[in-house]
Structure 1
């Protein structure tokens, strides 16, 4: 029994250090050490394992349980980025925003346009969508030519592509300054480089050699993409930091919470899910694994009063994210 407990103790310590490694994404960029970003993908599994082992120590009446419980406090906010409960928010809705990756323009899916029209949102931020099929009365359109489209009921003051000037790095964002009820906001539609995985590439089977090769192939795709993300994040950060207006940043980041991308794009902004979300923030549903890669962030002067991942529709491999914001506070 002592040997078994020793093994569990060493395992628990190992999981703790791996979890701590995910926190280092706030400081260590992928081009320096990409493995911390890789760890962020396994955060849910690591966290669940950590909690189960902590419960085991509690029921074993071991003092080390208190040490692991205390250390676990460091992960409260990281856990809330995946699963959260916020109290109801007061305020009148001034901006209704829908962010939605339509999966290669819906691939001819005729349900997408009626769904968007039914939402009657002030702003639509679409990814993987050229916006060709959406001719909604009363809406203006901004398009990046790279799969990013913004539709709005309101006056567009300025629009600009966030161009990496590198043919190996896709256009990461579309910036549109929009006037709403006499106030100007900067909306940034984001789509970071995808990993281009197919289900068969990540589905393991009983063949050890095949599984080992699949894992190597996945890592070979992940790490170069993380490094491209670092370049894209730097470009988007420049647009955020130099904005004379409140910023609302949304889209498909192809990155999980606790990743380098999350920490650096959310810096100085509020995660609408943390402010007004309830339940799970999982937005990508093509794999049987909790994955949150769609986000809505805003300047602190713009408050989210509701946040919803609309799981009532499965017209893409992503669920739409719907957020309502109150009027800008002074």
Structure 2
């Protein structure tokens, strides 16, 4: 490949990067292909960075092509990549964790998963916890509300269920060591099974609203993941369907964008201090993330490191769990805890007012 070919490829990659940046601002129900393109953004950025280094060693003027695309798209780059910064211990700690029903169905093939997840809580001992895909029942052996409430010292909790069968309950839960003064549930329109909750806790003389979000997933099954893994390993898939995966992803993009609009309206109406935690099921280049995080601070962008993957997979760019804070809150520390007992990593921040 000669220099002219490299130059054309470089120009195309720069255009693609800028295009993804602007297209990702369009709601998926208006233009859903943009949501698929957003997954390529981190990798296109890396290639453009390589082009800058390459041209600096030969035709320095050409390095401006990729440099221009990187400057234009810098807001999305900083939400996907974070550099090391000095961290300090804050006054309060909040942890967010999608626990996959405490591995109720033993998906990880680890019978001790639930106890290990609970051990994280016992060790970290955060002031507040936001659980997504929380499971509990009315029997002592799997009464997770009772265990966390009584044994771990979380005097206050807010639980809302999305599904119930006999004595089994599934939903979202927020636990706090501080008094809860208000609570509520944000229901989505009938077709949506996911939900979000908000909990107002009184910390000293301040009231902090905590949003605990769990947005629409793709509802993929094992065959879908096996298909994607085979493709990523350059193998011929033995099962699964690309068309089925495509349809599930497109449906997820559209439903999440509608949910995000409902949530954002609710967040903006509240004028007090607030933290937004949870499993957005969408990456930082997505319309969903950009809408919810507008006018808020993403704790990872200020205190995180690297690409910040929170979903357990072979892809390094799947950061889909977030802790956002309003501008009156100082994030002192952000951590992704390296435990693979669920299909999500727990994340936590320490903060102060």
TM-score, normalised with respect to structure 1: 0.89
**CA RMSD in angstroms, aligned pairs only:** 2.2
- 2:65 corresponds to: 67
What's the CA shift for 1:227?
A: 0.6
Query: How far is the alpha carbon of 1:288 from its aligned partner?
Result: 4.0
- Deviations 1:160-208, CA, capped at 9 Å, x for gaps: 1110131x2123311111111121011001111111234213121444x
Counterpart position of 2:133: 128
Q: Is 1:189 paired with 2:212?
A: yes
* Cα separation, 2, equivalents of 1:112 and 1:20: 41
The size of the alignment, in residue pairs, is 319
Write out the 4+ residue segments of structure 1 that deviate beyond 4 Å after TM superposition: none
Secondary structure of the 1:290 match is coil
Cα distance between partner residues in 2 of 1:138 and 1:66: 55
Alpha carbons 2:17, 2:41 under 8 Å: kept: yes
Shift of 1:231: 1.2
Would the aligned equivalents of 2:24 and 2:34 in 1 still touch at CA under 8 Å?
no
Give the unaligned 5+ runs of structure 1: none
CA contact (8 A) 2:280 2:320 kept: yes
**Structure 2: 5+ residue runs without aligned partners?**
105-112, 137-142, 163-170
What are the within-5 Å matches in structure 2 for residues 159-238 of structure 1? 159-166=183-190, 168-197=191-220, 198=222, 199-203=225-229, 204=231, 205-207=234-236, 214-238=241-265
Match of 2:114 in 1: 109
TM-score by length of 2: 0.83
1:1-330 equivalences under 5 Å are 4-25=2-23, 27-61=25-59, 63-85=61-83, 87-88=85-86, 93-107=90-104, 109-130=114-135, 132-133=143-144, 134-135=148-149, 136-146=152-162, 147-166=171-190, 168-197=191-220, 198=222, 199-203=225-229, 204=231, 205-207=234-236, 214-311=241-338, 313-327=339-353
* C-alpha spacing 1:194/1:97, structure 2 compared with 1 (3 Å): same
Change (3 A) 1:287 1:150: same
